[in-house]
Amino acid sequence: MKVSELSPAEFSKRLKRRGIYLKTGPFISHIRSSIPAVARNLSLLYSDHQLMTSEDFADFHIELFRSRGLRRWYRPQVNFSFDGHIPFKPLPLAQAFPMFEWTLNWCIANHSNQYLILHAAAIEKDGLAVILPAPPGTGKSTLCAGLSSRGWRLLSDELAILRLGDMKLLPLARPINLKNDSIDIMRQYTPDATFGQTSHDTAKGDVAHMKPSTDSVIRSDETATPTWIIFPKYVANENISLTLRSKAQTFIYAAENAFNYSALGLKGFQAMEHLIDSCHCYDFIYSDLDQAVEQFNSLPLSEEITP
Amino acid sequence: MKPDCILVTALTDPGIMRSLNLKQWDLLIRQARNANLSGRLNTLCHENGLLEHIPEQAINHLSSAQILADRQVDTIRWEVNRIQQALERLDVPVVLLKGAAYLLSGLPAAKGRIFTDIDLLFRKKEIDAVEKTLLLFGWFPTKMDEYDQRYYRTWMHEIPPLSHIKRHSVLDVHHAILPETASLHPDTEKLLENIIPVKGFDNLFTLSEVDMVLHSATHLFHDGELENGLRDLIDLDALLRHFSENNPDFWNDIVLRAHDLELSRPLYYAFKYSNKLLNTPIPKNILTSLDQSPIKPLAWFMDRLFSRALQPDHASCDDGFTGIARWLLYVRSHYLRMPFQLLLPHLLRKAWMRRFNEQDTTI
What pLDDT score does B183 carry? 80
| Pairing mode of beta strands A205-210, A199-202 | antiparallel
Residue B360: the pLDDT is 42
Q: Is B348 on the interface with A (CB under 8 A)?
A: no
Cβ atoms of residues A295 and A243 within 8 Å? no
Residue B3 predicted with pLDDT over 60: no
Query: B23 and A57 in contact by Cβ < 8 A?
Result: yes
Chain A: give the shortest CA distance to residue B8, in Å: 19
A264 and B55: CB-CB below 8 Å?
A: no
pLDDT in tens, A4-36: 999 999 999 999 999 999 999 999 999 999 999
Q: How far is CA A76 from CA A79, A87, A94, B24, B105, in A?
A: 10, 19, 8, 37, 52
Q: Secondary structure of chain A: what % helix, strand, coil (to 5)?
A: 30, 30, 35
Indicate the number of domains in chain B: 1
The CA distance from B39 to B62, in Å, is: 7
Which pLDDT score is estimated for B4? Answer: 61
C-alpha gyration radius of chain A: 19
Task: Please give the residue that has the higher pLDDT: either A138 or B174.
Answer: B174
Q: Could you tell me what percent of chain A has a pLDDT over 90? A: 84
Looking at A220-234, A275-289, B188-202, B312-326, which range is the least confident one? Answer: B312-326
Nearest residue, CB atoms, A114 vs list B30, B64, B314: B64
Q: Which residue of A has its CA nearest to B167?
A: A262
What is the reported pLDDT for B359?
Answer: 47
Evaluated on CA atoms B199, B204, B208, B209, the torsion sign reads negative
Q: For residues B175, B179, B184 and B187, what is the CA-based torsion angle, rounded to 10 degrees?
A: 10
DSSP secondary structure string for all residues of A126-192: TTEEEEE---TTSSHHHHHHHHHTTTPEEEESSEEEEETTT-PEEP----EEEETHHHHHHHHH-TT
Are B26 and A57 an interchain contact pair (Cβ–Cβ within 8 Å)?
Answer: yes
Q: Hey, what long-range contacts does B71-74 have (CB within 8 A, 24 or more apart)?
A: B71/A262, B71/A263, B71/A264, B71/A265, B72/B114, B72/B115, B72/B116, B73/B103, B73/B110, B74/A265
Query: What pLDDT, on the 0 to 100 scale, is given for residue A271?
Result: 96
In this predicted structure, what is the pLDDT of residue B228?
86
Q: Residue A267 and residue B67: Cβ atoms within 8 Å?
A: yes
The pLDDT assigned to B362 comes to 42
What percent of chain A is predicted at pLDDT more than 70?
98
Decide if B68 and A58 are in contact by the 8 Å CB cutoff.
Answer: no
Residue B49 counted as domain residue: yes
Q: What are phi and psi of B36, to 5 degrees?
A: 60, 35
Residue A131 CA, chain-centre distance (Å), reads: 12
- The residues that bridge with B198 in the sheet, in sequence order, are none
Is the backbone of residue B7 left (phi > 0), alpha (psi -120 to 50) or beta? alpha
Report CB contact under 8 Å: A114, B67. yes
- What phi, psi does A225 have (nearest 5°)? -95, 120
Of B30, B37, B19, B23, residue with least CA distance to B277: B37
Q: CA A88 to CA A67: how far, in whole Å?
A: 13
For A250-270, the pLDDT digits (tens) are 999 999 989 999 999 999 999
Break chain B down into helix, strand, coil percent, rounded to 5.
Answer: 65, 5, 30
Any CB–CB contact under 8 A between B257 and chain A? no
CB B121, CB B174: distance < 8 Å: yes
Mean pLDDT value across residues B78-106 = 94
Q: Which residues of B touch A85 (CB under 8 A)?
A: 34
Q: Which domain holds residue B236?
A: 6-356
* DSSP assignments along B243-255, one per residue: HHHH-TTHHHHHH
Residue B80 has pLDDT above 50, yes or no: yes
Look at residue B181 in the predicted model and tell me its pLDDT: 78
- A100: phi then psi, degrees, rounded to nearest 5: -60, -45
pLDDT at B157: 87
- Say what the pLDDT of residue B336 is: 79
* A59 to B60: CB separation less than 8 angstroms, yes or no: yes
Q: Using a CB–CB cutoff of 8 Å, tell me whether B316 touches chain A.
A: no
- The answer to whether the Cβ–Cβ distance between B61 and A111 falls below 8 Å is yes
In a domain, B363, yes or no: no
B-chain residue closest to A61, CA distance: B30
Average pLDDT over chain A reads 93
Nearest CA in chain A to B21: A56
Burial of A87 (0-12, 13-18, 19+ CB in 10 A): exposed
Task: Give pLDDT, residue B225.
Answer: 67
Confidence of residue A303 (pLDDT cuts 50, 70, 90): low
**Residue B358 reports pLDDT greater than 70:** no
Selection from B150, B119, B122, B142 nearest residue B361 by Cα: B142
pLDDT at B66 over 50: yes
Mean pLDDT computed over B28-52: 94
Domain assignment of residue B361, yes or no: no
Mean pLDDT of B318-338: 82
Round to whole Å and give the CA distance between A60 and A24. 12
Q: How close does chain B come to A280, measured CA to CA in Å?
A: 29
Residues of A in contact with B70 (CB under 8 A): 265
Residue B153 pLDDT grade (very low, low, confident, very high; cuts 50, 70, 90): confident
Q: Are the beta carbons of B30 and A83 separated by less than 8 Å?
A: yes
The pLDDT tens digits for A69-100 are 777 777 899 999 999 999 999 999 999 999 99
pLDDT tens-place string over residues B197-219: 999 888 899 999 999 999 999 99
> What would the mean pLDDT of B312-316 be, rounded to a whole number?
87
pLDDT for B338 equals 72
**Is residue B291 scored above 90 in pLDDT?**
no
Percent of the residues in chain B that have a pLDDT greater than 90, as a whole number: 62
pLDDT of the residue at A306: 46
- Cα–Cα dist A96/A39, whole Å: 10
Instruction: Give how far A161 is from chain B: nearest CA, Å.
Output: 14
| pLDDT(B79) > 80 | yes
Backbone angles phi, psi at B220, to 5 degrees: -75, -45
CB contact (8 A) between residue B33 and residue A83: yes
Residue type, B270: A
Q: Which residue of A has its CA nearest to B33?
A: A83
Residue A307 has what pLDDT?
Answer: 42
pLDDT tens digits for A267-301?
Answer: 999 999 999 999 999 999 999 999 999 999 998 88
pLDDT at B33: 94
Domain contains B351: yes
CA angle in degrees (0–180, nearest 5) for B131-B134-B138? 130
B1 assigned to some structural domain: no
Choosing among A53, A113, A170, A264, which should be mutated to test the B contact, i.e. which has the most B CBs within 10 A?
A113
Residue of A nearest to B38 (CA): A111
Run of H or E including A62: strand A60-66
**pLDDT for the residue numbered A305:** 52
Comparing CA positions, the residue from A246, A6, A281, A226 lying closest to residue A116 is A226
ipTM, 2 decimals? 0.90
Question: Is residue B81, in this structure, part of any structural domain at all?
Answer: yes
The CATH number of residue B73's host domain is 3.30.460.40
Q: Is residue B63, in this structure, part of any structural domain at all?
A: yes
Taking an 8 Å cut-off on Cβ atoms, the answer to whether B21 and A57 are in contact is no
